[in-house]
Amino acid sequence: MNRPKAAITALGGYVPEFRLTNQVLETMIDTSDEWITTRTGIKERRILKGDGAGLSIMILEALKDLQEKSGVELHDVDAVIVSTVTPDMPVASTAAFICHKIGAKNAFGFDLQAACSGFVFAMGTGASYIESGRYKKVLVIGGDKMSSIIDYTDRTTCVIFGDGCGAVLLEPNEEGHGIQDFILRSDGIGRPYLKIKAGGSMYPPTAETVANNEHFVYQEGQAVFKFAVTNMAEIAAQIMERNNLTADTVNWLVPHQANKRIIDATAKRMGVSDEKVMLNIHRYGNTTNGTLPLCLWDYQNQLKKGDTLIFAAFGGGFTWGSLYLTWAYDAK
Ligand code: UT7
């Protein structure tokens, strides 16, 4: 039996209006535009403001954008997968709320947590549902309100992260375009280096965990950097090799936007030149689950039917992954 491929047929994105620039950060903590730019490539990041404004606000804006640009209906989707580390609430899932808000009465939805690799994991999951033949329309959403879990007195993390979100619709493709292959990996050796210590079942929230700032992201940057720079580059090279792709036949690298130096190392390992690398870290920082769909969002007008895209990501856990897809439509 010929299994259908799962193709992206529509996409949307959203970033909040408020810009937190390096210059403003210079007035908040002991840092400099020069340090942030040379070490990370980031110039500014977006922050979602407002009481009670959670991830779902950004998702609904991204879905509005997706519908306006593509004209597709979403009330008949079969499944909604939200990859995030900052759901609206620990329980109930943000995906269930989104199903309700888009009127998808026959859909199921769930949140998926694989840190910064979440969107690749979610795309792989969505593709498998479609390839099985059981489902026809899967909405894959990646986004985070990182500002809700960042300590703005900690200069080692607060300069890196930002808020944002993107969404894609996956549908079967008769021409064989879409997700061709993916490789996903996890290794719990990374747990000490990138985590939020409290708020889970090991250390439930108490006045003490709050006072100790244990509900914020903790990262040992150098240790994570070493694993990220090797594993993201290697897994991208691996997916190229096993699909007989070369630097010439790859049209786009869609890399997780954690650090410009990690992106450059990945492109170099793949042999891919700079103009084929999607880059927006300077504008949004690291939006965790939002980085990959926001790259597609920013570059959508340059994508052509048949283009070969390689996604690559690395994140806490550790988790990492790469995905190879061919683009299914010309820019509208
Ligand atoms: O997306 C999920 C996965 N995460 C990643 O992939 C992130 C990987 N890590 C990184 O991107 C980098 O490690 C960072 C950008 C987080 C840090 O860059 P680094 O080049 O590894 O810096 P470092 O941690 O080795 O710190 C170098 C120095 C230290 O000072 P001393 O000890 O040399 O005096 C830090 O205290 O830079 C200092 N520093 C800062 N200085 C100015 C750390 N943060 C800042 C800051 N401004 N914001």
**pLDDT reported for residue 331:** 79
79 and 197, same domain (yes or no): no
Helix (H, G, I), strand (E, B) or coil at 225: helix
**Residues 219 and 80 placed together within one structural domain of the fold:** no
198 plus 289 within the same structural domain: yes
Same structural domain for residues 172 and 35?
yes
Q: CA–CA separation, 219 vs 197, rounded Å?
A: 11
**332 within domain boundaries:** no
| Block mean pLDDT (10 aa), the chain, length 332 | 89 98 98 98 98 97 97 96 98 98 98 98 98 97 98 98 98 97 98 98 98 98 96 96 97 98 96 97 98 98 97 98 97 72
Q: What share of the chain is helix, strand, coil (3-state, %, to 5)?
A: 40, 25, 35
Asked if 10 and 146 sit in the same domain, the reply is yes
- Residues 78, 120 within the same domain: yes
Residues 123 and 197 in one domain: no
Both tokens assigned to 29: 């903590």
Q: Which of 259, 260, 282 to mutate for ligand 1's pocket (most ligand atoms within 8 Å of CB)?
A: 259
- Closest among 288, 331, 312, 302 to 112, alpha carbons compared: 288
Ligand 1, CB cutoff 6 Å, lining residues: 31, 35-36, 39-40, 116, 155-156, 159-160, 221-222, 224-225, 228, 258-259, 262, 286, 314-315
8 Å CB contact between 68 and 62? no
The b/e string for 276-314 (b: 16+ C-beta within 10 A; e otherwise) is bbbbbbbbbbbbbbbbbbbbbbbbbeebeeebbbbbbbb
CATH number at residue 253: 3.40.47.10
| Ligand 1 pocket: which of 156, 160, 318 to mutate (most atoms within 8 A of CB) | 156
Are residues 90 and 20 part of one domain?
yes
On whether both 30 and 167 belong to a single domain, the answer is yes
CA of 202 to the centre of ligand 1 (A): 28
Ligand 1 centroid from CA 262, angstroms? 13
Give the per-residue pLDDT at 1. 58
> Does some domain include residue 331?
no
Any residues with CB less than 8 A from the CB of 3 and at least 6 apart, and which?
131, 132, 133
CA 148 to chain centre: 17
- Residues 162 and 210 occupy one common structural domain: no
- pLDDT given at position 3: 84
Domain boundary among 146, 176, 206: 176
| Residue keyed to tokens 């594993």 | 231
Q: What is the pTM of this model?
A: 0.97
Number of domains in the chain: 2
Q: Which residue among 225, 227, 229 has the greatest number of ligand 1 atoms within 8 angstroms of its CB, and so is best to mutate?
A: 225
Closest residue by Cα to atom 20, ligand 1, is 39
Q: Is residue 277 part of a domain?
A: yes
Where in the sequence numbering do the catalytic residues fall?
116, 256, 286
Q: Are strands 163-173 and 5-14 parallel, antiparallel or unpaired?
A: antiparallel
